[in-house]
Amino acid sequence: MTTAAILVAAGSGTRLGHDRPKALVALGGVPLLLHAARALAGSGCVSRVVVVAPAGHTAAVAGHFPDGVVPGSAVGVVLVPGGASRQASVAAGLAALDDDVDVVLVHDAARALATPALVRVVETAVRAGHAAVVPGLPVTDTIKEVGPADPAGAAPVRGTVDRTRLRAVQTPQGFVRATLEAAHAAGAARASDEARAATDDAGLCEALGVEVWVVPGEVDARKVTEPTDLALAELLLARRV
């Protein structure tokens, strides 16, 4: 029984707007991807991490993992270059897993402050018998379904969704390896086109008819997408020390 993690870090970070790929942007002086890798290693349940690096930046990424391990741990790191979409990057990570791995956690470098405790909760739920597990939080805004927007950008409301039935899902997402591989194989045609690619791995499993389970997520696992998210992450990090 071996659990490995795929840490997807190959995105460009267009919405964050920095001069380097988002995963290499510093949070409290440490790159996002290193925060995320430390949480995976610190969970105690992850034996290896496959880091999916931005094309053209593999040397910079490797520099953060001297001796081929997550710093401060004995958890080995393998580096692979990413793809055109998040889905393609996860597929590249899947292809690099060792044969003994039976459970896979897929984690966004952009969710840098997800805690080791959350990693354990997800992994435990998979080991307990759920083939696909995602962390999620209740939605706090009222959600409207809308029609096409007019030229000024205003869109007509088509309805109000029952938010008690909704969850905003996070990573790490956990899977029985064979389930995740089957889901990626079935959805492979979508991976090269960002517009058609799955936005998360659980979605690929759902498309295959696999039941996906949600466990409680955490505020700290919020995704760094835009500059205000990075500012908020700095506050969350400062609160920890």
Ligand X SMILES: C[C@](O)(CO)[C@H](O)COP(=O)(O)O
- List the single partner that 14 binds among ligand X, ligand CTP, none, CB under 5 to 8 Å by kind: ligand CTP
Residues of this chain, 22-81, that bind ligand CTP according to CB under 6 A: 22-23, 52
The whole-angstrom separation of Cα 145 and Cα 176 is: 34
- List the single partner that 31 binds among ligand CTP, ligand X, none, CB under 5 to 8 Å by kind: none
Largest CA distance in the chain: 56
Residues of this chain, 102-161, that bind ligand CTP according to CB under 6 A: 108-110
Map tokens 């295959």 to a residue. 208
The whole-angstrom separation of Cα 22 and Cα 32 is: 7
Give the pairing of strands 167-169 and 132-138. antiparallel
Least spacing, CB of residue 114 vs ligand CTP, in Å: 11
CA 205 to chain centre: 15
**Does residue 170 interact with ligand X by CB under 6 A?**
yes
Pair 200, 223: CB distance under 8 Å = no
Least spacing, CB of residue 59 vs ligand CTP, in Å: 17
Handedness of CA 226, 228, 232, 233 (dihedral sign): positive
Q: Residues 64, 86, 130, 222: which binds ligand X (CB under 6 A)?
A: 86
Q: Which is nearer to ligand CTP, 123 or 201 (CB)?
A: 201
The C-alpha angle with vertex 228 and arms to 239 and 143, in degrees rounded to 5, equals 105
**Does residue 200 interact with ligand X by CB under 6 A?**
yes
Q: Which is nearer to ligand X, 38 or 111 (CB)?
A: 111
The whole-angstrom separation of Cα 7 and Cα 37 is: 7
Least spacing, CB of residue 166 vs ligand X, in Å: 13
Contact region with ligand X (CB under 6 A), list: 63-71, 91-99, 113-121, 166-174 = 166-174
Least spacing, CB of residue 100 vs ligand X, in Å: 26
Give residue 2's identity as a one-letter amino acid code: T
Q: Where along the sequence are the contacts to ligand X (CB under 6 A)?
A: 86, 108, 169-171, 199-200, 223
